[in-house]
Structure 1
Amino acid sequence: MALARVHNFAISLDGYGTGEGQSADAHFGHAGDRLHQWMFATRWWDPGGSGGVDDAYVQRHDPGIGAEIMGAGKWGHPGWQDDPDWKGAWGPNPPFHTPVFVLTHHTRPPIEMEGGTTFHFLDASPAEALAAAREAADGKDVRIGGGPTTIREFLAAGLIDQLHVAIVPILLGRGVRLWDGLEGLEQDYRVEATSSPSGVTHVTFTRAGS
């Protein structure tokens, strides 16, 4: 069966996957781009960037992915459901290039974008959403794209096969945390950590047989 995978999900040292105060102009709230500056320094983002450890991890983001699932908080800022013209924070050609399933209580018709991305809006449980995404992925894997609440719900439901978390050496102090309520999670996975000269620690969780 196709795997459910998380790649390059960045959190702060104190466990926050997004900051407080999200808005249309601040997708990650007060965190700004600090959780993702390590990505912007890689060859994946900039041909003149680093080809080291960080680049090796970030290059795994796209291969083998046939669909993505994300939460309403990743799709848009608070109140996006009241804006019929809102089409996500990534412009006319989003970086997904697959079907994307947005989990929300505020469903709307699918939105087809440039580059092969179509946003579908589901009011569904994690298991139901994963079944729909696997069907759309046509045998490829499904990426659970975030935000932290969505990843936490999929982990709690035992639905994630591979998880890559990039722990960034910053302290946010407030926002939405990833690990709350997941005590003992590591017992279900093989856990490995790799440090990068950038100060980022890459932690991977792999379920047996994945």
Structure 2
Amino acid sequence: MSLTRIHNLSISLDGFGTGEPQSADAPFGHAGERLHEWMFGTRFWDAGGTAGVDNAFAERHSHGIGAEIMGANKFGPPGWQDDTAWKGWWGPNPPFHTPTFVLTHRPRPSIEMEGGTTFHFLAAAPAEALETAREAAEGRDVRIGGGPTVVRDFLAAGLVDHMHLVQVPIVLGRGVRIWDGLEALEDAYDVEAVSSPSGVTHLTFTRKAGS
């Protein structure tokens, strides 16, 4: 069976995956771009970037992925459901290149974009959404793209096989935390930590056999 994977999810030292408040001008709230500066310096993001540790982890994001699941707050700012012209943050050619399932309480017709991305809108619990995404992935893996609330829901449901978090050395103090309600999550995973010269720490969680 295909795996369920999370990649390049940046969190602060105090565990927040996004700041607040989110808006069209501030997708990550008061966090700004600070959670993702490590990635902007990589060759994965920019052809002129570095090819070191950060790049090696970042590149794994795209390998073997056949579908993506994301939350409503990753697809757009509060209120996007009322804007029939809204097609996401990413322009006409989004970076997913697969069927992409947006979890929302207000589904709308699918949107076919350039580059192989088609956005589908689902009102579904994590297990049901994953089953739908796996069918679309045709044997390849399914990526849980975020934001932190969706990641937390899939972790709580025991549906994540592999997770790559990037702990960034900043303290946000408020926003959406990844760890709430996930006490002793580490018992189900083998956890590895790799430090980078950029100052971030890459944390890899791989589900233990039988967990």
2: CA distance between counterparts of 1:30 and 1:84?
A: 27
Q: Any gaps of 5 or more consecutive residues in structure 2? A: none
The corresponding residue for 2:149 is 149
Task: Give 2:108's aligned amino acid.
Answer: R
The corresponding residue for 1:202 is 202
Q: What is the CA deviation profile of residues 44-98 of structure 1, one whole-angstrom value per residue up to 9, with x for unaligned ones? A: 1122211111000001010100000000111111111111111101111100000
2: CA distance between counterparts of 1:46 and 1:70?
A: 24
The corresponding residue for 2:80 is 80
What pairs up with 1:1-210 in 2 under 5 angstroms?
1-209=1-209
**CA drift at 1:38:** 0.5
2: CA distance between counterparts of 1:17 and 1:108?
A: 27
SS of 1:37's equivalent? helix
Moved over 2 A (4+): none
SS of 2:143's equivalent? strand
**CA drift at 1:195:** 0.3
Percent identity of equivalent pairs: 73
2: CA distance between counterparts of 1:112 and 1:84?
A: 14
2: CA distance between counterparts of 1:139 and 1:89?
A: 28
2: CA distance between counterparts of 1:31 and 1:113?
A: 29
What is the TM-score when the length of structure 1 is the normalising length? 0.98
2: CA distance between counterparts of 1:44 and 1:209?
A: 31
Task: Give 1:63's aligned amino acid.
Answer: H
Aligned CA-pair RMSD: 1.0
Q: What is the CA deviation profile of residues 134-171 of structure 1, one whole-angstrom value per residue up to 9, with x for unaligned ones? A: 00001000000000000000000000000000001111
Q: What is the CA deviation profile of residues 116-147 of structure 1, one whole-angstrom value per residue up to 9, with x for unaligned ones? A: 00000000010000000000001000000000
2: CA distance between counterparts of 1:115 and 1:147?
A: 23
**CA drift at 1:32:** 1.0
Task: Give 2:172's aligned amino acid.
Answer: L
Q: Any gaps of 5 or more consecutive residues in structure 1? A: none
SS of 1:197's equivalent? coil
1: CA distance between counterparts of 2:153 and 2:9?
A: 15
**CA drift at 1:208:** 2.4
**CA drift at 1:209:** 4.4
Task: Give 1:116's aligned amino acid.
Answer: G
SS of 1:92's equivalent? coil
Q: How many correspondences in the alignment? A: 210
